[in-house]
């Protein structure tokens, strides 16, 4: 997932709005939907594309063009029935990835069984943090060192093969710091910056979490 994907946030309570605003602030294309017109009116200043609709209705899903969305976040933990219907309809529409907010472990099991690819507990992961993960996920491994900084394992890009770290100047171009090189299952922290990179290598880097999307 990244900034190049399209997102829909269903439910504009505090959590859903937080996810949508973080995505929008980082340049992602976001459709926000809520059944309450007052919630839509309140959010439209910070989320340009807001719609009032009942997403438990098949016609609404069709009218909103949900079938063309890459990632749907169902942020209605307080309404299990609506969440189940929304997930089911989105899955039937062919949505690639569905993430659902849940209220407890039982709801988590139910939402997973009806098609949610990932179910989150809002008290464990904030809306802003979920948005950051959506924008920067897709790396081999990712460890959040803080709210702003992460350590990730990235593959060597095709146009990096045969070049060394000095030639690539990754710190200047992507604002990342290479701390180790992984090759044949071995991790080497004593990096030779003149060593030509190979396609099979992985780089372990530390970077600002949001700036990682520049590597996509």
Strand 202-208 versus strand 176-183 pairing type: antiparallel
- In this prediction, residue 134 carries a pLDDT of 75
pLDDT mean across residues, the chain: 87
pLDDT at 146 over 80: no
CA dihedral 65, 68, 28, 53 (to 10 degrees): 20
Name the least confident of 9-18, 71-80, 113-122, 136-145.
136-145
Domains observed in the chain: 6-136 (3.40.50.720), 141-215 (3.30.70.1450)
- Write the pLDDT tens digit of every residue in 96-135: 899 999 988 899 999 999 999 989 887 666 777 777 777 6
Rg of the chain over CA atoms, in angstroms? 20
Structure tokens at 101: 């907010």
pLDDT at 205 over 60: yes
Whole-angstrom Cα distance, residue 180 to residue 157? 16
Whole-angstrom Cα distance, residue 211 to residue 15? 23
């Amino acid at each position: 997932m990244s900034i190049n994907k399209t997102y829909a946030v269903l439910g504009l309570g505090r959590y859903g709005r937080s996810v949508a605003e973080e995505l929008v602030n980082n340049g992602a294309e976001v459709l926000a939907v809520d059944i309450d017109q007052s919630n839509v009116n309140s959010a439209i200043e910070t989320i340009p594309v807001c719609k009032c609709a009942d997403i438990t209705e098949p016609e609404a899903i069709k009218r909103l063009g949900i079938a063309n969305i890459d990632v749907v976040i169902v942020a209605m933990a307080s309404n299990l029935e609506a969440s189940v219907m929304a997930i089911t309809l989105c899955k039937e529409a062919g949505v690639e990835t569905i993430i659902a907010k849940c209220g407890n472990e039982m709801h988590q099991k139910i939402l997973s069984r009806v098609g949610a690819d990932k179910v989150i507990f809002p008290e464990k992961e904030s809306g802003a943090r979920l948005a950051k993960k959506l924008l920067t996920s897709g790396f081999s491994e990712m460890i959040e060192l803080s709210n702003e900084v992460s350590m990730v394992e990235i593959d060597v890009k095709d146009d990096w093969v045969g070049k060394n770290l000095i030639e690539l100047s990754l710190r200047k171009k992507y604002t990342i710091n290479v701390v180790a090189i992984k090759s044949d299952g071995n991790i080497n922290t004593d990096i030779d910056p003149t060593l030509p990179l190979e396609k099979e290598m992985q780089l372990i880097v530390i970077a600002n979490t949001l700036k990682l999307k520049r590597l996509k």
